[in-house]
């Protein structure tokens, strides 16, 4: 659900290479996907060679098949610290309710709901408790943790909450353990250095915004020896500047910071590509989460040896 361009789906599928490391194919098969943004749907179809239902999730929910795993990053704009503070009463973040209804239909062994760190902030406490209450009412064991993407081989300082629900008879979910520490996080320079001499190349999304300098994010630079700053979806061209070159980072560079492989091409112009990249779950982080889900399902001894379906 809420597939966007497919960052979380790519992580669960696996079989991609990022920064010379291959993330192996995992035993999950995508059987249903939905996204409302038409440009993101075009990107999804191109990169997955698979159909995605493009439209309002409420209109297509009855077409969902049963599956072992249900995943989705429900919209966060009303919860984000950069949003309007409406919480789950907002039009977008209230869409977690669609996940609640979908779980009733799909009856997964595991579900994963991803959202921003802001969900854990004090002013969103009521929203968090309501979300947990509604998920708990479905009869699942619920846990949630805050993940720092840089701990999981993503060259970005990005913190996100993953809420995990597991069937009550399936044991306890163990979250993936961090692989890196602050001392050996992948830096922006390590992720982007080979692109420094490359001229603008629209075919691979290596294009950048010419927006004038502005306050806050609009004047922020990458630091060569640190992971990239959080890639935002609604930066309106004010995406961060390169650590060395006199320009803002390109969409290909932003995709690198989000851990997308270079052969993942975005079917959109610059502004829409910004939105797709910024909204995505980093595929490498999702891959590590998928590994933990795989381990959990294997230990539950409830599944046969057929490919898992998400």
Q: What are phi and psi of 92, to 5 degrees?
A: -85, -50
> 213, 146, 206: which is closest to 176 by C-alpha?
146
Cβ burial, residue 73 (10 Å; 0-12/13-18/19+)? buried
Q: 28 - beta bridge partners?
A: 308
- DSSP assignment of 246-289 equals SSBPBHHHHHHHTT--TT----S-HHHHHHHHHHSPPHHHHHHH
The DSSP call for residue 239 is: P
Residue 157 in tokens: 């300082």
Q: Is 76 a catalytic residue?
A: yes
Q: Residues with Cβ < 8 Å from 112, sequence gap 6 or more?
A: 69, 70, 71, 72, 162, 163, 164, 165, 289, 293
Choosing from 5, 41, 54, 76, the catalytic residue is 76
- DSSP assignment of 169-219 equals TS----PPPP---GGGPPPHHHHHGGGTTPPPBGGGTB-B--PPP-SGGGG
CA angle 18, 19, 21 (to 5 degrees): 65
**Catalytic residue ranges:** 76
């Amino acid at each position: 659900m809420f597939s966007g361009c497919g960052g979380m789906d790519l992580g669960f599928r696996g079989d991609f290479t990022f920064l010379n490391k291959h993330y192996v194919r995992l035993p999950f098969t995508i059987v249903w996907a939905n996204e409302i943004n038409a440009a993101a749907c075009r990107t999804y179809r191109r990169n997955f060679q698979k159909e995605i239902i493009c439209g309002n999730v409420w209109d297509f929910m009855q077409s969902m098949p049963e599956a072992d795993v249900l995943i989705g990053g429900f919209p966060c704009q009303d919860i984000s610290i950069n949003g309007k503070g409406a919480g789950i009463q907002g039009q977008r973040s209230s869409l977690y309710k669609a996940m609640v209804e979908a779980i009733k239909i799909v009856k997964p062994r595991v579900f994963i709901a991803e959202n921003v760190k802001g969900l854990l902030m004090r002013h969103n406490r009521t929203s968090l408790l309501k979300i947990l209450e509604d998920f708990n009412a479905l009869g699942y064991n619920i846990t949630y943790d805050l993940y720092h993407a840089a701990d999981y081989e993503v060259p970005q300082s990005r913190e996100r909450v993953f809420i995990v629900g597991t069937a009550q008879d399936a044991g306890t979910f163990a979250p993936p353990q961090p692989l890196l520490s602050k001392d050996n996080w992948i830096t922006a320079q390590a992720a982007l250095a080979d692109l420094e001499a490359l001229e603008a190349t629209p075919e691979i999304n290596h294009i950048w915004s010419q927006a004038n300098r502005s306050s806050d994010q609009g004047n922020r630079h990458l630091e060569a020896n640190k992971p990239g700053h959080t890639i935002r979806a609604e930066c309106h061209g004010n995406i961060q500047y390169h650590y060395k070159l006199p320009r803002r980072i390109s969409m290909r560079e932003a995709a690198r910071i989000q851990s997308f492989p270079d052969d993942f091409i975005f079917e959109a112009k610059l502004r829409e590509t910004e939105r797709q990249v910024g909204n995505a779950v980093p595929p490498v982080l999702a891959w590590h989460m998928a590994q933990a889900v795989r381990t959990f399902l294997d230990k539950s001894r409830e599944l046969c040896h057929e490919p898992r379906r998400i």
